[in-house]
Amino acid sequence: MKNLYIIFALFVIALFWACSDDDSDSKGAPVVDYVRSCDPAEAEIHLTSALLGNKIAIVGNNLGSVNKVYFNDVQAKLTPVFVTDNSIIVEVPTDLPTDKQDLITLYSSNGTSCNYSFVTVVPGPTIKSMDCEFVADGDIAYINGTYLTNYETDPLKVIFTGDAEGEVVECTLERVAVKVPAGAQPGPVTVTSAYGTATSVFNFRDNRTEYVIMDFDNIRRPIAPLTDRWSNGWHRGENDQNGGERIGTNGITGQYLILKGNVNVDGDAVNVSEWDFCFDAWPFTSTAPDLLDAKNINNLALKFEAKVVGEWTGGALQTIFTSVANASYSWVDPDANHPNELWKWDAWGADPYPRTMWAPWADNGGSYSTDGKWITVTIPMSECKYGMFGKVVGPKPAGNYAGMTLFVNRYHSGSGKSCYLQLYIDNIRVVPNK
């Protein structure tokens, strides 16, 4: 490595000696003959473009008096020792241009200047997420990503499945607000900038039956011969003591699950009514398949839409997946303790079922609300690994994902403060995230 630094230093010195007869300021306008790499192995290659952050050598005449260099409309930082009458070594700025001109502009202290055609290569856009993946036509969707450039001469385009182009309302490099067009269909979203195109891994309004577990309207997995309720187990949501199912209506996509009641925090312990804060979707038969491809678990994410009414300050939404033997009650000894319940509470045995934990208040100053909005929650399935007390116990291999239970209990990093929690959930799914 030391030898490389010596070679580079000698190359720079040689470049200056070869190109400069007089380092004094020139009275003529600067002239650029070509641009080349500062890598000695590529010194003879003339460049027409360079990536952000790359170091280049501008070679020409009358360059000694140059005191400003712009790449498009972004000024580069000049080091005087690297400015001679015949060459300038400079780093392409990492800030993005607001006006894409594909020019290098040199300004001299004597008031002259010159332009040189040169492309600043900006990475293409990426799509990371959408605040909410279920947005109605005409409403505003928020897409998060990187390099979401939106030039007046080359505006950002957002295309929904169905070849429906949205109207960009606001845009920064990392976030775009777009009005969902009429005719937008379920599927990926594509963005195209001046520098490239990106397509989302997620599906807008995801309705893929191979991934959606429960949408509380049309899709229910595991399939059960029950037509009067969405749950298949002991618990069906908020205040279910009398057998009434607690499903809300007129939500983001119709019906949704309600978990609501008092969350009482005592130290790290959380006390709730499991009838208010639990929902079971157990398999109905002993041959029910897994709800997801466990062999590919590191490339999957648990997703759902959520709405938090009021302030959530304690406890966590836990999600466990269990095998047919440990989740269903239809063929288990009716007098026995049901394994799903035992593993859910970590109360018995040394092999608790792993779970995901969602406690957004913990990363939000101790309190969290969605301010009346629905959001999309994404939890990598690689995080389905905690026991109730925070010990890493998973994930489990294939054959352990035929049933699902959601419930509120403690959080592994401290359980927060007591609160009255109103949590609405819809469109539960496990989908590819890569």
Whether 253 and 345 map to the same domain: the answer is yes
In a domain, 301, yes or no: yes
Whether 319 and 396 map to the same domain: the answer is yes
Indicate the pTM of the whole model.
Answer: 0.81
What is the per-residue DSSP string for 288-313?
A: PPPSS-GGGGGGEEEEEEEEEES-B-
Of 125, 130, 142, 146, give the one whose Cα is nearest residue 198. 125
Whether 249 and 383 map to the same domain: the answer is yes
Q: Are 270 and 250 in contact (CB under 8 A)?
A: no
State how many domains the chain has. 3
In a domain, 391, yes or no: yes
In a domain, 205, yes or no: no
Q: Which residues make beta-bridge pairs with 404?
A: 281, 321
Q: Are 131 and 48 in contact (CB under 8 A)?
A: no
Domain end, chosen from 121, 138, 166, is at 121
What pLDDT is recorded for position 381?
A: 96
Whether 63 and 104 map to the same domain: the answer is yes
Whether 108 and 254 map to the same domain: the answer is no
| Nearest-angstrom CA–CA distance, 147 and 11 | 34
In a domain, 412, yes or no: yes
- Phi, psi values for residue 280, rounded to 5°: -110, 135
Place of tokens 């026991």: 387
Residue-level length of the chain = 434
**What DSSP character marks residue 363?**
G
Domain end, chosen from 82, 97, 121, is at 121
Which CATH number characterizes residue 141's domain? 2.60.40.10
Whether 319 and 295 map to the same domain: the answer is yes
What pLDDT is recorded for position 335?
A: 46
Give the tokens for residue 263.
């969350």
Q: What is the pLDDT along the chain (434 residues), one digit of tens a residue?
A: 445 444 444 444 444 444 444 444 446 899 999 999 999 888 889 999 999 999 999 999 999 999 999 999 999 999 999 999 999 999 999 998 888 889 999 999 999 999 999 999 999 999 999 999 999 999 999 999 999 999 988 999 999 999 999 999 999 999 999 999 999 999 999 999 999 999 999 999 999 999 999 998 887 776 665 555 566 666 666 555 544 457 788 889 998 999 999 999 998 888 888 788 988 888 777 778 899 999 999 999 999 999 999 999 999 999 998 887 776 554 444 444 455 555 566 544 455 678 999 999 999 999 999 999 999 999 999 999 988 777 888 888 999 898 888 999 888 878 899 999 999 999 999 999 99
Q: Is 56 exposed, middle or buried (0-12, 13-18, 19+ CB in 10 A)?
A: buried
What pLDDT is recorded for position 246?
A: 76
**Domain span holding position 97:** 2-121
For the chain, counts of helices (H) and of strands (E): 3, 27
Domain end, chosen from 137, 164, 199, is at 199
What pLDDT is recorded for position 135?
A: 98
Whether 417 and 279 map to the same domain: the answer is yes
Whether 18 and 156 map to the same domain: the answer is no
Does residue 334 sit in helix, strand or coil? Answer: coil
Whether 144 and 117 map to the same domain: the answer is no
- Residue 205 to residues 135, 253, 302, 313, 426: CA-CA distances in angstroms? 8, 9, 15, 30, 12
Whether 101 and 163 map to the same domain: the answer is no
What pLDDT is recorded for position 413?
A: 78
Whether 360 and 242 map to the same domain: the answer is yes
Over the range 119-136, which residues count as b (16 or more CB within 10 Å of their CB) and which as e?
A: bbebebbebeebbbbbbe
Whether 46 and 100 map to the same domain: the answer is yes
In a domain, 276, yes or no: yes
What pLDDT is recorded for position 269?
A: 86
